[in-house]
Amino acid sequence: MGLTDIKARIAKAETDAGRAPGSVSLIAVSKVQPLDRVEAVLEEGHRLFGENKVQEAAGKWPAFKERFPGVDVHLIGPLQSNKARQAMELFSAIHSVDRPKLATTLARLAQELGRCPELFVQVNTGEEPQKAGILPADADAFIAEVRGLDLPLAGLMCIPPVEETPSLHFALLAKIAARNGLEGLSMGMSSDFEEAVALGATHVRVGSAIFGERSYG
């Protein structure tokens, strides 16, 4: 456990899969973690982090960014349209684009601000009613819609159902990406990032295996 160990395991998974070293970006998911744990990982030199709430990220990252140049934070949780402007200012990528209204809002703001974070379309590969994401059957049309809005679409993201084999979901996500000519695949968390790398992940989102368990107390 810890940053060094996770980086070594990613490097091994890349080699085992015949992929180039460094082809997978490690997003250290710092949500809910005590600030001293986050700071320790920054001190180790890591610069790419993930947060799932706009408000929480806004409270913690501006100060860290001043102290640690080169920090990038990605939004990996659901985004409400009314927080889109703030999200575009805070994050260098948004992994949770999952509906036309949000895409339209992001496109309008991108025009206004003259820039836009890299975007990932979230696909609800398990078709779970409580989970965000576009359904697999609607993904191709939605991807075309996002592209039609002239937004910088980097790839796709998924969170597999907890009780199912993650590989099936990673493979489905990779298949949808390939047929749409998308390179980016945001998939894999603490318990399954090596399988995700084997199936083509370009971004793994690892929280507790780096920082320790989250305590929501």
Interface with ligand PLP, residue 29, by CB under 6 A:
yes
Closer CB to ligand PLP, residue 76 or residue 119? 76
Stretch of 99-107, 129-137, 167-175, 207-215 contacting ligand PLP, by CB under 6 A: 207-215
Q: How far is the CB of 113 from ligand PLP (least distance, A)?
A: 25
Interface with ligand PLP, residue 33, by CB under 6 A:
no
Interface with ligand PLP, residue 123, by CB under 6 A:
no
Between CA 77 and CA 144 the distance in angstroms is 22
* Amino acid present at 168: L
Residue whose C-beta lies closest to ligand PLP: 207
Closer CB to ligand PLP, residue 53 or residue 141? 53
Query: Of 54, 76, 87, 90, which lies in the binding site for ligand PLP, with binding defined by CB under 6 A?
Result: 76
Note the residues at the interface with ligand PLP (CB under 6 A): 29, 31, 52, 76-77, 159, 189-190, 205-209
